[in-house]
A and B are shown apart, each in its own frame.
Chain A
């Protein structure tokens, strides 16, 4: 095990996969000489050269479309889109290209690329640099979506994503890059895409979250414990394919569910979780599913305004209490 920061874990995954497989290459804005605005690709251009680590123009639409067809042509591209807020610019490539041709040309092509991006609020980056648009990508058939919270899962899932034969959108969070954690060495670190993890066992209510919201859910569980409420926290890790088995197992035990997502509420990822739970767990539920997500509005800049909007431990704990009331 090695103690490292989340950004370092990602860097180490990229380095190891590029060493392991000469068809892996990276491109994106500011990722080369500068090492990425969040320093995830620090040192990689020096090690692998300008052919395999490319600084690009500001061209998210074409970059994503090019990642799709480069992946059809023998390489495994890893594209960095600097902010999740820029994901709408990438959507034709995901919705009308990657999602379509994997099926139409099945057996002829595979589309093994990774689109890394980071979202989330809390540091005053404003309405165009703080959103979580998870549902925009999780909505698209044929695209896998992962959102790890720990350095170990960040490294393990990124390595798995690079090796995966399908397109994977890899969602990071700007407030996680400096978080530290123990990371297994070698291939022991690999994490299977599509597998949730029980972060904290509990018996009264299940809280489902991804990315930074897992940390808020854990804090909520600690607060609930003070009142004698035993909350189970499930880190879904992968948004699609969803580990419905882990969700069913937890609700069969607790009979109460809180779903959490940092994105907008209406048609958001939490809405899909709620619907999936209705589909699969209705008979096990003793109360309606409680949803904690972002209000449906632009994220304001000023600190008290932004803070008031973000889902947090207190809102999650309140939702759990409501589910149990």
Chain B
């Protein structure tokens, strides 16, 4: 079984992680200038989880994420320009401006999708896996969710059924230590959440969520199990949310020394260091510079794109009052 990323895959993972980080930084700047709408939930520090886990999936495998899913959007191969366009409410965005940054969906890349009801991505991926199993398809679904979502009742219901029916689903628990402002130990009686897997008859593994290669390996093994009909896996990726809950967050509840410790373990620096040894620092620097330029161009293009007009969005067949 192949569970180690090739050099080319590692280069692409780094590129997408840098794209994600640059997306978050540029959004943060625009938010400070009051040029964004609504709260933005940045995933700085968590890039390795979404990007490296998505790297093991095929286009027709589906992934469901949360309100904090930019690394999953980029990781699953969505186009930065159309992501930015959606976040900036443009007609050229993935949902033509209907979704916003939390609710993107793209069937072509299998990113279905963001979800801003905490915990809702867990049954979403489980239901997709159920469909794959009913149709006897060789496809996998993955839910990327946080330690906050892990405390919902629907998480228990979903994992129980996934274990019971050996559904081809990967539960990727991104433990970033906080549910909004509340620390994980105040939300759960146990520190490590992957131990719950035993109660659902599935393997539970813990990985360093800031190490892209470790995340890739765990996800590859889980995907392989799912494809072979052995059922779900719960992966707990320990990571950290470096920029708070959202752009509307006034902060003060994440200790400075804690943030500083995690900044020392920036997942982009860890991924770059691993690649330095394989391809040299110059090539790594070139990949990072190119990704930064690409995201800059994505913003430039997206911000020049038109805003939608209501007339073409109101009479929607999704709300058809006429039977078809």
Contact = CB atoms under 8 A, between A and B. Distances in A.
Interface of A: 23, 25, 27, 51-52, 54, 56-57, 59, 61-63, 65-75, 77, 92-93, 96-97, 100-106, 108-109, 141-142, 144, 160, 164-166, 192-195, 238, 240-242
A102 B132 CA distance: 20
Interface string B170-206: 0000000000000000000000000000000000000
Given A56-B161, A57-B161, A241-B323, A96 B131 contact: no
B95 A105 contact: yes
A25 B323 contact: no
Interface in B136-182: 136-137, 141, 153-154, 157-158, 160-161, 164-165
Given A59-B160, A97-B120, A241-B323, A66 B103 contact: no
B135 A61 contact: no
Nearest to A56: B161
A207 to B, nearest CB: 23
Contacts of A166: 318, 320, 324
B113 interface: yes
Contact of A194 (B137, B154, B165, B322): B322
B105 interface: yes
Contacts of A54: 165
Contacts of A74: 131, 135, 137
Contact of A65 (B103, B124, B133, B317): B124
Contacts of B124: 65-66, 68-69, 97
A96 to B, nearest CB: 5
B310 interface: no
Interface in B199-256: none
B130 A70 contact: yes
A69 B107 contact: no
B257 interface: no
A104 B320 contact: no
Given A66-B124, A160-B323, A194-B323, 20 more contacts: A56-B161, A61-B157, A62-B126, A66-B123, A68-B124, A69-B124, A69-B128, A70-B127, A74-B135, A75-B134, A97-B115, A102-B319, A103-B319, A104-B98, A104-B99, A105-B95, A164-B324, A194-B321, A194-B322, A241-B323
A62 B158 contact: yes
B299 interface: no
A165 B128 contact: no
Contact of B127 (A57, A67, A102, A238): A67
Contacts of A144: 323
A61 B137 CA distance: 25
A69 B106 contact: no
Contacts of B123: 61-62, 65-66, 69, 93
Contact of B128 (A56, A73, A100, A103): A73
A101 B105 CA distance: 9
A66 B107 contact: no
Ordered nearest first, which 9 A-B pairs have the shortest CB separation?
A66-B127, A62-B157, A69-B127, A65-B123, A59-B157, A73-B131, A102-B318, A194-B323, A241-B321
B17 interface: no
B112 A109 contact: yes
B322 A241 contact: yes
B125 interface: yes
Interface in B72-103: 95, 98-99, 103
A100 B132 CA distance: 23
B117 interface: yes
B6 interface: no
Nearest to B135: A74
B323 A69 contact: no
Contact of B161 (A62, A71, A100, A193): A62
A70 B125 CA distance: 9
B213 to A, nearest CB: 30
Contacts of B62: 73
A193 to B, nearest CB: 4
Contacts of B98: 103-104, 106
Interface in B41-77: 62, 64
Contacts of B153: 61
B139 to A, nearest CB: 8
B33 interface: no
A163 to B, nearest CB: 10
Contacts of A240: 321
B128 A70 contact: yes
Contacts of A69: 64, 112, 123-128, 131
B261 interface: no
A195 B133 CA distance: 36
21 contacts: A51-B134, A52-B134, A57-B157, A59-B160, A63-B157, A65-B124, A65-B127, A66-B123, A66-B161, A69-B64, A73-B127, A73-B132, A103-B316, A104-B103, A105-B107, A160-B323, A164-B324, A194-B321, A194-B323, A195-B323, A241-B323
A155 to B, nearest CB: 17
A108 B106 contact: yes
Contacts of B95: 104-105
Nearest to A242: B321
B319 A142 contact: yes
Contacts of A103: 98, 316, 318-319
With most chain A CB atoms within 10 A of its CB, the pick from B105, B153, B319, B323 is B323
Nearest to A75: B131
Nearest to B100: A104
